[in-house]
Each structure stands twice: as C-alpha cells, then as structure tokens.
Amino acid sequence: MNVESNPFPRHQWVRLWCALPNDVVEKAAAKCAHSMRVDDIKSPEAGLALLTLRDGALAEPYYLGEIPLSRAHVSVSTPEGKNAEGAALIMDDRAHLARAMAILDAVLAAKLPGWESAFALLEEGARAIQKMERTRKAILATTQVDFSLLASTEGDEDE
Amino acid sequence: MGYVAIKGGGRAIKGATAVLEMLRTSEGDRGTPLSLDVIETQLRLLTSRVLSEGGLYHPPLAALAIKQMQGDTLEAAFTLRAYRSTRPRLLETPVQDTSGMRIIRRISSAFKEIPGGQILGPTFDYTLRLMRFDLVDEDPKTFRSFVRRFLKDVPEDRLPTNFPRVVDTFRAEGLLPPASPRDITPFDITREPLVFPVPRSAALSTMARAETGSLLALAYSNMRGFGDIHPTVAELRVGYLPVLLPHPATGETMEMGEVLMTECEVIAMYEEGEDGGSPVFTMGYGACFGHNEVKAISMAILDRALQKGMRDGPSNPSEDPEFVLLHIDGVDSMGFASHYKMPHYVTFQSDMDRLRSTRRKAEGTGQDKTGKGYDPGGDPA
C-alpha cells in the first residue's frame, strides 16, 4: 500500500491518528516540522464543545452535554516554497496534540517532506481501529439473539 | 442574641482534608494506587454515571473525579462540572445523527423480530444476582488472558455496526406521528436559568445530566400509578456515536472522536392524530452519556409524562415540569442537603430566641405552649 493509492480519505485521517499513542504522533509531527516553517492560521485552542443531537421521538434538537475539544489550523511551508494548509479537531484537552495532527494533515495532503511517516501512521492507526472494531463485532456476534431456536416452543416466552 | 464569630476552624479543616487522604491511602505498604484506566475500565458503569451526571463526556477525568472523591458519585459529578465551568466553550456541534451510532447493544420489547435483530451486548439482565466469590481473590493471569480467549472463540461475522431504528418501522406503518425535524435553537441549560415554562429541549438537557436515582424515583412514581404512560421500550441502544464536524481547511465532514451513549425510545398510549387524523402511538425519548440504561428509560418515561403535562397541565408530580426539572439535578440537590451541615449558628440562635420568647409568653398567658399557630394578635384557632 502506498500514498498514491491512499485508501484513507482525508476526513478519516484524524480518527486514525487518534487511535495511536499521543507521543508517536507528536514525535512524527515534530520531525516533519523540524525542516519546515509552521505558522498558525488560528492559534491552537483547547476547550469544550456542546454536543447537539436530535431526539428520536419528536425529532427536536437538544444538547446532550459537553465534550472536550482541541483544534488547530496551520500553514506549513518548505524551504523550497511549497506550502500547504492542515487542520485537526480532536476530542481531547491537549491543543498541542491537535497542532501535531494539523501538521501531519498538511504534510500528507501536499506530500511535503516526511509524508511517508504520516502515511505510515495512518496504516498503524487503521490496524488499531480494526482491532477495536473486531472486539465490538465480537460483542455483537456473541450476543445476537436467534429466535429460530425458540420456534419449537413458540409462545412460551412471549408476554 | 449576639453575633457568633466563626473562627478557629482553619486547623481542623486542614486536618479533615489530611484525614481524607490518610483514609484513602490507609492500606499503607500493601496498597496500590488506583489507576484511572482501572477505574474507567473495571468500574465502567460508575464512570458512565459520573460523566453523564457531570454533563461532560470525559472518561479519564470522570475516573479521576471518582478516585479523588473516593467513590462518591455526587461529589465526583460536582467536581467534573466544576472543571467544565473553567473551560472555554469553543463551539456547538452541528446536529449529530444517532442512527450512525456504532452499536454494542440494542433491544426492543415491542416485538422480537426487529430489523437487524436483537443484540443483547453487555448486560446483567440475564445474570443471577449471586455473589461471584471467585472475584475475591482473582487470578491476575486468568484476568489478563480473558479478552484473548474470548476473541479467539468468536467467529468472524458480517454483522453491521449500524442498525435501522425500530421506531422507523412503526413510522413507516403510520403508527407513530411522522418525524418532521425542526431547526429550532435548543435551550442551553448551562447558560440560561430554568424559568418556567421551558421548552422541551430544556427538559431533555436537564434530564440528560440528572442524577440517576432522582430520575428513576420520579419515573417510578409514574410507572406505579401516579401517571398513565404504560410504556413499551421500542428500542434501547448502547453504542459509540461518531462526532462529526467540518474540517477547518477543507470543509469536508470529519470525525473528531466518538461518544459512548445510551438512547431509548418508549412508545406510550395512543392518542388521536393531529387535526383529527387516525390515532397514533405517542412517544418518549431518553438519552445520556455513557452506558446507563435505567437512566435512559426513566428519562424517556418522564419525557412522555412531561409532554402531557406541558400540553394539558399536570395531573400528577411526574407530569409537572417544574416539579420534575427542579428536583432531579444531583449537584443542586446534594448541595442543598449538604449546606445544612454548614454553620447556621446565627439563624439557629434566632430560632432559639423565638422559641424562648414564645414559651415565656405562653407561660404568662396560658396559651398554646407549642408555639405552633401562636399569634397574639390573631385568631387563636
């Protein structure tokens, strides 16, 4: 698998990087940023977001509560003058982590130097998510009710 | 009566804090500090309760609050809310669609063959409430290998992670009122006080972060007879809701994380349709952060009761928005109860003075010695 046939659309990148240990992501971003100039288009911020849902009875919007949110939006420039924008929104308190992901986002989107490591982290994140999904699927598979087994005693357990 | 100075408690207060810490660590050399991961994982339902009642989906901090407050859920929720009050609000998310929830449990008591099937997921519903004494002295090796053994025996399956909503089936048959999404701005209970009447969105938000026991008690009053909801659980879902926001650089919708939540729709007594149409079932809705089924079901019952109360006027406590919504918040009610522990020296001195004065007057005149109903200028009856 290589970035030419990147199977991960950009809207999934942050999810995949979030599945990895934070220090791995931050180290990779720091390595990329070392040889490039990073400017904050908006200062990285950490705070909360109000989570809006629509209720399942009358389809009215309401707020379920709050979630942590960090966000960053950066511009990355190479010494050769190549430039790209990157951004990240994550459910986390650490603005510096969001900034690290925003740098990786820019680097990978424009294939700036170091994009290979950002891409490798996507693959690693995908494996972590696959593992988590397998556990969840196991929960579903193990506990799915098979009513056909009750066919011979139909009616016994119906209220 | 003179002013009662409140001084001299500083040393004792410091001591009380130290005693709390001493008791928390009283295992001494044998002890192991609780890690947040242990609390979040092994006490997952407790963590769920605290983050839902705290109104902030932050599992590690909910675990920290539980550790810090030594298992007191009310104090832990209070601490979580205090934390959130120090954080800036950066944005309100667009309306999230819970049909995209990554399900780990979904059941219906309305009918058994629901589209996608019933998934029991993690539940104590079918376990015997007998002590598991093998957990008293648990073998760490067995403990650590269980997940591996569990996953090894599970066949690969093709089950989806998203499932259709059960209520959509009823809607398709015209048994429920049609869902017509309205784009009203919801009421923000963290910024605005509840001044009645309040919109339904205020009721939903207030119940979503209510104390589980309070919500259950009021819903139970309705179930037992102080109300006539007679609910059927159309669907109870537990799963992870992906939170989607626009990417700041591309504008494309991206996933920033996921939230474990419980959601429930109950179907209640049918009523005449709008504008004299065919009768349709009525519904109630409940949801909360984390895995907390009793809370979601209780909320759904109360939502339905409050809809009736808001429309026709309350005929029992659980239909009265003011009664319900002002008495279910754990932090509010715990605070009020706890404040009675604070010094009331001045007010109590005043009560004592009044009692003594009343007794003196009663002894002098031979009137009511209890002081109750005593009114020298009014009707003694």
Which positions in chain B touch A53 (Cβ < 8 Å)?
95-96, 98, 287
User: B184 or B42, which is more confident?
Assistant: B42
- Share of residues in chain B with pLDDT > 70 (%): 93
Shortest CA distance from A64: residue in chain B: B205
Chain B segment 223-242 residues within 8 A of A by beta carbon are 240
* CB neighbour burial string for B30-53, b if at least 16 within 10 angstroms, e if fewer: eeeebebeebbeebbebbbbbbbb
> Is the backbone of residue B12 left (phi > 0), alpha (psi -120 to 50) or beta?
alpha
Q: Does B180 touch chain A (CB under 8 A)?
A: yes
Return the number of other C-beta atoms located less than 10 Å from residue A44's C-beta. 19
pLDDT at A61 over 50: yes
* Alpha carbon distance B130, B230 (integer Å): 31
pTM over 0.90: yes
pLDDT of residue A2: 53
* Alpha carbon distance B213, B330 (integer Å): 9
Q: What is the mean pLDDT of chain B?
A: 92
Say how many CB pairs under 8 Å bridge A and B: 238
The answer to whether residues B119 and B184 belong to one domain is yes
Is the CB of residue B87 less than 8 Å from the CB of residue B57? no
pLDDT of residue A1: 46
Domain annotation covers residue A44: yes
Q: Among the listed ranges A103-107, B216-220, B273-277, which one has the minimum average pLDDT value?
A: B273-277
The answer to whether residues B141 and B75 belong to one domain is no
pLDDT of residue B142: 95
pLDDT of residue B367: 57
**How far is A159 from chain B, CA to nearest CA, in Å?**
10
For residue B272, what pLDDT band results from cuts at 50, 70 and 90?
confident
Which positions in chain B touch A103 (Cβ < 8 Å)?
none
Q: Which of B49, B112, B167, B256 to mutate to test the interface with A (most CBs of A within 10 A)?
A: B256
Domain annotation covers residue A137: no
Shortest CA distance from B154: residue in chain A: A138
| Residue contact A62–B204, C-beta within 8 A | yes
Domain annotation covers residue B381: no
Give the neighbor-by-neighbor strand order of the sheet with B232-246. Answer: B102-107, B232-246, B253-271, B280-289
CA dist B82 → A119, B18, B211, B331 (Å): 40, 22, 16, 10
Q: Which of A50, A137, A144 is facing B188, going by the closest CB pair?
A: A50
Residues in chain B: 381
What tens digit of pLDDT does each residue of B312-368 get? 999 999 999 999 999 999 999 999 999 999 888 889 999 999 999 999 999 986 555
Q: Is B261 helix (H, G, I), strand (E, B) or coil?
A: strand
The answer to whether residues B66 and B161 belong to one domain is no
**How far is A81 from chain B, CA to nearest CA, in Å?**
19
pLDDT at B369 over 90: no
Domain count, chain A: 1
Domain interval for residue A31: 8-129
Last residue of some domain: B41, B64, B90?
B90
For residue B1, what pLDDT band results from cuts at 50, 70 and 90?
very low
ipTM: 0.92
Q: Which of A51, A56, A91 is facing B285, going by the closest CB pair?
A: A56
* Alpha carbon distance B329, B214 (integer Å): 8
- Share of residues in chain A with pLDDT > 70 (%): 90
Domain annotation covers residue A135: no
Domain count, chain B: 2
Domain annotation covers residue A134: no
Q: Which two three-digit tokens encode residue B62?
A: 């909910």
Which positions in chain A touch B263 (Cβ < 8 Å)?
56
Residues in chain A: 159
The answer to whether residues B60 and B122 belong to one domain is no
Geometric angle at alpha carbon B219, from B216 and B221, rounded to 5°: 110
Domain annotation covers residue B153: yes
* Alpha carbon distance A53, B255 (integer Å): 15
Is the CB of residue B282 less than 8 Å from the CB of residue B268? yes
Q: Does B127 touch chain A (CB under 8 A)?
A: no
User: What CATH number does residue A98 fall under?
Assistant: 3.30.390
pLDDT at B183 over 90: no
Return the number of other C-beta atoms located less than 10 Å from residue B63's C-beta. 25
The answer to whether residues B193 and B319 belong to one domain is yes
